[in-house]
Structure 1
Amino acid sequence: MKYILSCIIITLFLTGCSSQNGRYHQRHDSTPTRTPSAVELEDAVPRVEKKSKGGNRNYTVRGIHYEVLSTADNFSQRGTASWYGKKFHGHLTSNGEIYNMYGMSAAHKNLPLPSYVKVTNTANNKSVIVRVNDRGPFHQDRIIDLSYSAAYKLDMLKTGTAQVIVEAITQTTKKPPLVKKAKATYIQTLATSNAEQANNTAESLQSLFNYPARAQKSGKLYKVQIGPIEEPHIVAMLLEQLKEQGYASAFIVKH
């Protein structure tokens, strides 16, 4: 029964950015009412991640079969990029995260989820690093769907699409030597005794804001914190954005 339920959930996730099943509030996609902030325009920071539980099986959409790559190593591709915005904002991606049009993310048909790629607009040589956490685009003449912030940074909003080069970024798991550091700045968003809630919140925040987030146990509570963040102005802007997203009691802590 668990297997059947899991398959149903994965199938729903796989429709990601291209679903036509009516679960979105808008019939057609649209442009956000504001432009991205300085924090939202920062590249995603590549890091070693395990493959997500959802979105990494071969799948079929509109009668076409797609195979998911086992690794992103040495992956490179040229073609047309598009972007997706308000219609999909706040809905599930193919790997079960929440799509944030202001985050540095993307959808791809074949790359493992998650993956990190550098996308370069060949018309102006502008580039961006995004985290691939969704499936699509399912227009056969397009190779990648970018978040609103990523498309904004590539200066492709006016045209809607752009010719790009997509290059995978992979890292080794080798740890750097330990060094003594000053106290790091974090933003705490939640304290709860529910471990599952804390871990899910941390994963969601990391996806939304492209900064590391953790659920750290302290006594009987699990504290969800984003960080470390070095730049004070980024801390201030991120704190403001968190409060706008519903985390009104978020506050700064140092470790």
Structure 2
Amino acid sequence: MRLARPVVVGLLGLLLTSCALIREPGGRYYADDGPPGGSGPNPASVPNPVPRAEALSAIGNAPYTALGTRYYPVATAKGYQERGLASWYGRMFHGRHTSSGEVYDMYAMTAAHRTLPLPTYVKVKALDTSQEIIARVNDRGPFIGGRIIDLSFMAAKKLGIVARGTAKVEVTAITPAESSGVRSKSPVNRIFLQAGSFRLPGNAETLQRRLVAAGLRSTEVIEARVNKTLYYRVRVGPVREVSDIDGQVEKIRQLTGVTPRVERK
């Protein structure tokens, strides 16, 4: 979905870039962003997601800046409908984290939008063919003029726009009858930010001291055994307010050069 995207919200610090931004002007896509050797599930076997009421993501719904523009995600998707260009992104970002903290699956029916709440279900209609799909928005983007939505590879495949790269679409939000929302000042159920993982306890303690000195006082070192190997993990939390997450993620990234891993306990 992206090219050299700056840190925006929470896990947007992973520098995701819009597939739209790596596409040639003529609309053709680079083959290395599709599935290896044309493999992957048959689109006919992948159903549209069934819209349901979901709590808003704990991250990814705060205001953010991308490519010099400030964006303000809306509190509700009710009544949203827009026409514009759709693009898509594929295996270059398969397995990476999305803005909501979920792992991007190029074979799932998902999408990215600049301001709709995460998550939101949308109906996407190709205006030239009237083909329709349903996708679940769990990411941010695209950040290029005229493009209003970035589709996962599978969503684009089912809509019939992979080879073209972009297509004119109509996007309509689907709002379930009931919705359980999380507002920016609501308590978060035990979210931790893992700032580092070390084999040597001294290295973990050094990072802990740096984080505390930077104002992240709720920092601890915990032991974790992975495949019989003992690691010392440094984590910040639990984060008490949703509105605190983005600032703490950015502070850790500036100190360590790495975007922290979000853990829900």
TM-score greater than 0.5 by the shorter chain: yes
Q: CA separation of 1:72/1:116 partners in 2, compared to 1, >3 Å: closer, same or farther?
A: same
Shift of 1:108: 0.2
Distance, in Å, in 2 between the alignment partners of 1:122 and 1:19 is 22
Asked if residue 36 in structure 1 is aligned to residue 41 in structure 2, the reply is yes
State the secondary structure of the residue aligned to 2:141.
coil
1:105-132, CA deviations, whole angstroms, 9 ceiling, x for partnerless residues? Answer: 0000010000000000011110100000
Aligned to 2:116: 111
User: What corresponds to 2:12 in structure 1?
Assistant: 13
CA gap of 1:47–1:13, structure 2 versus 1, over 3 A, is: same
1:130 aligned residue: 135
Aligned to 1:246: none
Which of 174, 186, 189 in structure 2 is aligned with 1:169?
A: 174
Decide whether the 8 Å contact of 2:118 with 2:139 is kept in 1.
yes
Tell whether the 8 Å contact from 1:16 to 1:134 is kept in structure 2 after alignment.
no
**2: CA distance between counterparts of 1:166 and 1:49?**
20
TM-score (norm 2): 0.56
CA distance in 1, matches of 2:176, 2:146: 30
CA distance in 2, matches of 1:144, 1:17: 15
- The 8 Å contact of residues 11 and 60 in structure 2, kept in 1 or not, is answered as no
Q: Which residue of 2 aligns with 1:88?
A: 93
Residue 58 in 1 paired to residue 57 in 2?
no
Q: Residue 79 of structure 1: CA displacement?
A: 0.1
| Matched residue, 1:187 | none
The 8 Å contact of residues 113 and 137 in structure 2, kept in 1 or not, is answered as yes
Alpha-carbon distance between aligned partners in 1 of 2:113 and 2:33, rounded to the nearest angstrom:
20
2:48 aligned counterpart, secondary structure: coil
**In structure 1, what residue type is equivalent to 2:92?**
K
Separation of aligned partners in 2, 1:28 and 1:66? 31
Contact 1:117 1:168 in 2 (8 A): yes
AA at the equivalent of 1:101: M
Q: How does 1:186-205 map to 2 (within 5 A)?
A: none
Give the count of matched residue pairs.
162
CA deviation vs aligned residue, 1:83-102 (integer Å, no higher than 9, x gap)? 00010000000000000000
8 A Cα contact 1:40 1:104, kept in partner:
no
Relative to structure 1, is the Cα distance of residues 29 and 132 closer, same or farther in structure 2, using a 3 angstrom cutoff?
A: farther
SS, match of residue 11 in structure 2: helix
Following TM superposition, the consecutive aligned residue runs of length 4 or more in structure 1 with deviations greater than 6 angstroms are: none
Q: What is the root-mean-square deviation in Å for CA atoms of aligned residues?
A: 2.6
| Deviations 1:8-40 (CA, angstroms, capped at 9, x unpaired) | 8944336664289xxxxxx99611121433575
Matches within 5 A, 1:172-251: 172-173=177-178
Contact 2:78 2:175 in 1 (8 A): yes
Q: 1:221: which partner in 2?
A: none
State the TM-score, normalized to the length of structure 1. Answer: 0.58
Q: 1:29 to 1:106 in 2, by over 3 A?
A: farther
Distance 1:135 1:101, change over 3 A: same
Counterpart of 1:148, as a letter, is F
Distance in 2 (CA, whole Å) between partners of 1:12 and 1:98 is 11
Matched residue, 2:225? none
Matched residue type, 1:143: I
Range with greater deviation from structure 2 (101-110 or 140-149): 140-149
